[in-house]
Amino acid sequence: MGVLAGAEPFAHTGSSGAGFLLCHGFTGTPAGLRAWGDHLAAAGFSVRCPLLPGHGTRWQDLNRTTWEDWYGAVREELLALLAGNDTVFVGGLSMGGTLTLRLAEEFGDRIAGIVLVNPSVTRLSADAKLLPLLARVIPSIPAIANDIAKPGVTELAYPRTPVRAAASLARLWKLVRADLGKVTQPVLLLRSRVDHVVEPENSRIVLAGVASTDVTEVVLENSFHVATQDNDAELIFSRSVDFARALRAGQVGA
């Protein structure tokens, strides 16, 4: 099956010498971050947002992939941005935030700063503990997609949650949590006050675990989980640009 219309990866070539990698969420697609990418591009950034393996086609395809596949895709895009820009930032929504944190753990100060929107690093519900067992017997469970407060907006994401892939995501969460102390870059974390997908504990774990000294938390009062398509989207976009510009100005002026 081909890629769903609207789910395609996107890229912009900027003029500022600064790049921004965007990472979409689990069962989602770049469509959820396209407006964010357009805003960054208008501000002069080079932008890349890959379609992660197993996404944007059929939910069954996602069960044939693992977190190593998703991470390999964003890692490759990061390396391309690092090769062509003097300053690079990474941002992500939900599991995209998980991948962003993993990149920060690996690449250190080669990444100038990270932007996390409702990042996931754990799930507290009882069913999460059963994922390894469920993955052997049940191919999918009800969808987690489309948690948006804004009327008339729909996320382009799978109608089911693939269980085997979800179990792989849980393994990635464990690795990321264990290495949060390796995250030293400036962090901008934006979290929704009401999120029906990612529990508040996720942001608390991230903020308590990173070693960064420059950390800003922004609470999104009018959005649910898919905040990049919700009422606070413009706030996310503008704060991301301000964050990156301030950091780049500090580095250039140092």
Give the C-alpha separation, 220 to 191, whole Å. Answer: 6
Among 46, 94, 223, 240, the one annotated catalytic: 94
Handedness of CA 2, 80, 28, 161 (dihedral sign): positive
Is 94 designated active site?
A: yes
Q: Are 144 and 26 in contact (CB under 8 A)?
A: yes
Is 225 designated active site?
A: yes
What are the structure tokens assigned to 11, written together? 């890229």
Q: Are 99 and 116 in contact (CB under 8 A)?
A: no
Is 224 annotated in a binding site? The answer is no
Give the C-alpha separation, 41 to 36, whole Å. Answer: 9
Nearby residues of 192 by Cβ (< 8 Å), 6 or more positions away: 118, 219, 220, 223, 224, 225, 227, 230, 232
Residue 124, CB-side half-sphere exposure with 13 Å CA sphere: 10
Among 225, 230, 232, 240, the one annotated catalytic: 225
Among 46, 168, 192, 195, the one annotated catalytic: 195
Is 55 designated active site?
A: no
Q: How many residues does the chain have?
A: 254
Beta strand 140-142 with 113-117: parallel, antiparallel or unpaired?
A: unpaired
Is 1 annotated in a binding site? The answer is no
Nearest to 206 by CA among 147, 137, 122: 122
Active-site positions read 94, 195, 225
> What residues form the annotated binding site?
26, 95
Q: Write out the binding residues for substrate.
A: 26, 95
